[in-house]
Amino acid sequence: MGVLGAMIARGEDHRRVWALLGVEKPAGRVLIEEADLYPDALSCLRAATECGLVVGIAGNQPAGVEAQLRAAGFSPHFLASSAAWGVEKPSPEFFARVVAEAGREPGAILYVGDRLDNDVLPASAAGMRTAFVRRGPWGHLHAEQPEAHLADIRLDTLADLSDALVAGRSAEAQATS
């Protein structure tokens, strides 16, 4: 874990960790189940959907992850992996695909991620608004970098985003009544 953390902190490709350790990459597919998710992930997606937002999940994941995430309880408007799209973050083509799938102008999209290099900076370059979540190994290490302040929103949890969405919906309802 220390080697992985050092690679992340230095901005290196974490997939090289196996070579640095001198061991074979584990064979087989990793299964994603509900127990693997952050406890506030599903409730955040539900809150966004209840607010009438288009919700999408797209990331650098292997083929087949879409079915696993749906089985774990995710039901977004679109769900895609880099393997299915044939393009991965941080390439501009990946973020152009997010915009196309969302069917919205880039400025109307809030891209949420825990990495500056793969999420916040390229999404911002694509014209999207960004939310940086200080969570997981990248989130905690990247939170210390000056670029973290370039995110439109900085969060510690997805529950913080859910709370903001619900508060915004309540304020909107009060303003229209």
Q: What is the pTM of this model?
A: 0.86
Q: C-alpha angle with apex 116: 71 to 39, nearest 5 degrees?
A: 35
Q: For residue 50, give the H/E element and its range.
A: helix 41-50
Q: Are 160 and 24 in contact (CB under 8 A)?
A: no
Task: In whole angstroms, give the CA distance from residue 15 to residue 113.
Answer: 19
- The sign of the dihedral angle between the CA atoms of 86, 148, 43, 105 is negative
Q: Are 98 and 112 in contact (CB under 8 A)?
A: no
Per-residue pLDDT of the chain in tens (177 residues, 90 and over written 9)? 788 878 878 878 888 888 888 888 877 777 888 888 899 999 999 999 999 999 999 999 988 888 988 888 888 999 999 999 999 999 999 999 999 999 999 999 999 999 999 999 999 999 999 999 999 888 999 999 999 999 999 999 999 999 988 887 655 555 655
What pLDDT score was predicted for residue 177?
Answer: 53
